[in-house]
A and B are shown apart, each in its own frame.
Chain A
């Protein structure tokens, strides 16, 4: 797999299939920007890519401490990649805390590029190293390849004549690192130069200084003897031709809502209250006014959803976005949306809970709440996104179901998908499913009276919006009489309406695709059944298990309520089913309850995604057990 060629400077360039890199430093070191720039460059270069930022919930935790470490991980590859990498091959550690916090996830033999200034006595103490210990010198990192680089000193030297203050100069050190990594991976500087010039349009000295620091890093790689043995690397671009953009999960959700509104011919309204890690959906949509999007930053989570219900009643495609604690606050209003039977998209970007929990970390622990977290009998469709790009398709589908089946829909994402990014081949409008709102037409005097709760064969009522002549009607949270919608406390009627509302949701199964097998045999020993953001790790693990000759398959659920009609059949095609989840075992309950089978459960509740090794180990353990 390695193909070595010589540059003019006699530095080896080694071709590699894929590399995972972590940029880590203090939250003030600009690692998110560095990682984002690196990701943009490799994306435009045409390699496959998956990124994941990992930062503390505090905006500026005490500098130099473990709590203040901010990281940006990415994997880029000549083959499709589905995760930022279980472990990284290269770690940039701007200080000792960054090294200490992340070393456990660095491959044995991996590369460490350490900013030596971050390993002075003060920083070592802040990171909690014992007095006198310095990992760069004490032999504790002998299993890795260390490159100590005086990043700060070299940045200062490069910019000593820039005219910037020393504080401003020091802030450019992340660009030095970026330049060095561009050199190491034979990547072009031009994209970042353009970005910097655009960003500092009004402060051209700043753009020049940042570019100079980046070039200094690049040339440092070229000139120093430090990397002579390691050489440089080249990841060949493998993307198909076409137009791409890089999106995070949150951006993809926002684009999908706007696209669905356009496709349906409706105005988009988002009522929302900022909450980590869902806020970027509101922020992205607030910038989409040129598409006619209306966003409303409400006073709280409740007003966020209730204003959306008001907009939906008025005939808009209405949505609200939130994370766990916010969904809890919205549950009463969800009950109203269920009984009003109006379309509403609720995007829940899950995070570690309960309560404030781990606000910036992913978890899949709101599945029960999405399915059952309402008062009364209040079923609604629940669907889940499985990758940053898939956030687009899942959200779009949520909007389609909401509008065509007149129901609130919960679309589950999580903090991992929300902030991770990957390249997306730009979608053509023609490929998007039609969304057809069923507006009730106006009536003239003498026509039969309008029946707001008269249903079609799918048990779906029509959408009668204000401004339509002859349809004046009153609806609300009180139980309604079948068809007329008038308030009714009749016992039999309540039971009938409860069953009709449930049947309406159950019948959505008639219009959704059957469950497919993502990878592996259609019948076999083991099925790995996943949902949501575990897709990448499961996909990679199952690929590896198949390469090793195991009889294992992967199915990933988009529709959790209602389930696809053939799910029972699929589950029956394997001797054993295992369900990996980032929670304490929620889908496994639901599968057991629905299909009366006993799946194995693999759970992780650490606020970090699975890595493929954890899943692969479980697969091989289970299969060995089955064979014995």
Chain B
């Protein structure tokens, strides 16, 4: 059934163009989704996986149109259910590279249950969560990541639902990989997508993505040149947490409490700072909570990456164990183990 040989053969050199389908993207001009599509098209040829061995699965929403624009296999499913569809596919076909395009509504609201359970099971999926903090396709209702007070057509007096913290939810659900990227920073986004592709297990990439129509400038604080440096921090494994225009600010841990320190003052140096460790779930959990604290910069990069057996591998191992004496035949199946003979 599977054609594993294709990956072994010398592949023709493919480019982003080879991964573009014949369909014109129908996203609004200026939508952040274009940027994600562009980076994905750039990345896919670098992975060395033949297009026929890649499947892009999605649910419903603007971001879920992603499969239509890539010249791979693709399924556009139903609202909230991209993750179980991708899980079933990956269990049946561990040989495929399976990507999921989903949004804050699709993944965290209608598909919230699937989100947490997929993460704890850890099938090898690359999940791109386009977070624009709004419902775009249904025209501007608030989403489970919309900020408190946001006025929308369904929250004319302002949102009163406390928003989800995607990073904390991922880590709390037993996810093995969380990273945050930004539509405006294409190069960085691509590097994160590459990391996600390399991770064996469910890679959850939250992409801050601007919706110019219904929630424009939701992430402006991390985009404009004058604010960006002080409001964002790019975390790198085994590197100290440094940010600011002149790389003159850092994060120190005071017990469990992250504190911003000024490196220009003599009392602190980079050796006092928190050294990022992707394998440390406790530190990742604190990093995840930065988003809830106004005074802290917003982290981008890989928060957490844990090696854990994937669901499909664990299942395949059980099947292999039970077939230690070979795969049983149809005849044996029909006869069963408690048959008896009437003479």
Contact = CB atoms under 8 A, between A and B. Distances in A.
Contacts of A595: none
Contact of A296 (B2, B71, B87): B87
B328 A299 contact: no
Interface in A231-267: 237, 239-247, 255, 258-259, 262-263, 266-267
A146 to B, nearest CB: 35
Given A241-B343, A306-B81, A318 B92 contact: yes
Contacts of A476: 58, 67-68, 74-77
B342 interface: yes
A262 B333 CA distance: 10
A290 B52 contact: no
Interface string A457-471: 000000001111111
B255 to A, nearest CB: 36
Interface string B277-311: 00000000000000000000000000000000000
Interface string B330-343: 11011110111111
A44 B52 CA distance: 53
Interface stretch (A218-226, A350-358, A423-431): A423-431
B167 to A, nearest CB: 21
Given A303-B117, A310-B86, A472-B52, A237 B92 contact: no
A56 to B, nearest CB: 27
A294 B343 contact: no
Contacts of A477: 60, 76-78
B85 A309 contact: yes
A442 B51 CA distance: 13
Contacts of A426: 334-336, 339
Main secondary structure of the interface of B (DSSP, over half): mixed
A496 B2 CA distance: 34
Contact of B88 (A46, A269, A475, A478): A269
A245 B52 contact: no
Interface string B29-65: 0000000000000000000001111110110100000
Given A291-B333, A310-B84, A469-B50, A296 B91 contact: yes
B87 A290 contact: no
Contact of B339 (A239, A244, A308): A244
A445 to B, nearest CB: 10
Given A271-B84, A291-B328, A303-B117, 19 more contacts: A44-B340, A241-B341, A244-B341, A289-B318, A291-B327, A294-B319, A296-B87, A299-B84, A308-B88, A314-B55, A314-B88, A335-B78, A340-B75, A426-B336, A466-B54, A466-B89, A467-B95, A472-B71, A475-B76
22 contacts: A237-B342, A242-B341, A243-B342, A244-B341, A247-B336, A255-B336, A263-B330, A289-B323, A309-B77, A313-B85, A313-B89, A314-B55, A314-B88, A314-B92, A333-B78, A336-B78, A426-B334, A426-B336, A426-B339, A467-B93, A471-B73, A475-B76
Interface of B: 1-3, 6, 21, 23, 50-55, 57-58, 60, 67-68, 70-78, 81, 84-93, 95-96, 113-114, 117, 315, 318-319, 321-323, 327-331, 333-336, 338-343
